[in-house]
């Protein structure tokens, strides 16, 4: 919003007010509302002042109908969560690997104590913030995908030992 006046001598000071709010909202010829919310709806006017006096402008009505709270308040959802803007409101969703606790904060899921055995019966689970990894016991593997279950290696460890070549294999040498 911009205030202008043809006062003579020129205006020394511009002050912005919102009706129903006694203290000034801003000073300066232009007033921009940053981080706008529906609370900013209302009637605004400016006061122009020079050395002889002051005069109020007519009021300007501002009606905030659509606000993207996620953009206007980047921290609105707190850590480890994403914000989803909705019509007239917003919602917060925990990032993968996090879940909402009793007071609505997104906290790490300790996959290693969950009932679902994330690492299978053959893996040792290590919890990380937002994640976890599986350490496979000898004879098992998750084929390099550290976040997946360890499964038993399908080949027979006895036959896989060096120096013991399967007869079937010899046929091709
Ligand atoms: Ca975790």
Maximum separation of any 2 CA atoms in the chain, in Å: 111
State in Å: Cα 98 to ligand 1 middle.
7
pLDDT of residue 42: 95
State in Å: Cα 109 to ligand 1 middle.
4
State in Å: Cα 140 to ligand 1 middle.
22
Residue 122 lies in a domain: yes
Residue 2 lies in a domain: no
The CATH number of the domain holding residue 102 is 2.10.25
Tally the domains of the chain.
3
Residue 6 lies in a domain: no
| Number of separate helices (H) and strands (E) present in the chain | 3, 13
pLDDT in tens, 86-103: 877 889 999 999 999 999
Q: Answer yes or no: do 79 and 116 share one domain.
A: no
Q: Answer yes or no: do 55 and 77 share one domain.
A: no
Q: Answer yes or no: do 75 and 56 share one domain.
A: no
**Residue linked to tokens 């006046």:** 5
Q: Answer yes or no: do 57 and 92 share one domain.
A: no
pLDDT of residue 169: 46
Which helix (H) or strand (E) segment holds residue 159: the answer is helix 157-160
Q: Average pLDDT of 81-85?
A: 93
State in Å: Cα 76 to ligand 1 middle.
23
Please give the Cα distance from 62 to 29 (Å, whole number).
18
Residues with CB under 5 A from ligand 1 (ion): 108, 127, 132
pLDDT of residue 170: 43
pLDDT of residue 102: 92
Domain containing 88: what range? 69-108
State in Å: Cα 148 to ligand 1 middle.
13
pLDDT in tens, 88-147: 788 999 999 999 999 989 999 999 998 888 899 889 999 999 999 999 999 899 988 888
Task: Give the confidence band of 1 by pLDDT, cuts at 50, 70, 90.
Answer: very high
């Amino acid at each position: 919003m911009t205030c202008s006046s043809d006062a003579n001598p020129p205006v020394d000071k511009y002050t912005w007010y919102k009706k129903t709010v006694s203290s000034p909202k801003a000073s300066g010829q232009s007033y921009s509302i940053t981080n706008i919310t529906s609370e900013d709806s209302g009637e605004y006017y400016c006061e122009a002042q020079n050395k002889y006096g002051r005069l109020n402008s007519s009021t300007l009505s501002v009606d905030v109908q659509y606000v993207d709270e996620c953009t206007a308040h980047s921290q609105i959802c707190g850590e480890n969560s994403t914000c989803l803007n909705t019509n007239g409101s917003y919602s917060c969703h925990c990032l993968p690997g996090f879940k909402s606790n009793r007071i609505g904060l997104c906290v790490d899921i300790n996959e290693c104590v969950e009932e679902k055995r994330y690492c299978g019966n053959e893996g040792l689970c290590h919890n990380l913030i937002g994640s976890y990894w599986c350490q496979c016991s000898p004879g098992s593997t998750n084929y390099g995908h550290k976040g997946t279950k360890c499964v038993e290696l399908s080949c027979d460890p006895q036959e896989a030992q060096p120096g013991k070549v399967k007869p079937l294999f010899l046929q091709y040498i």
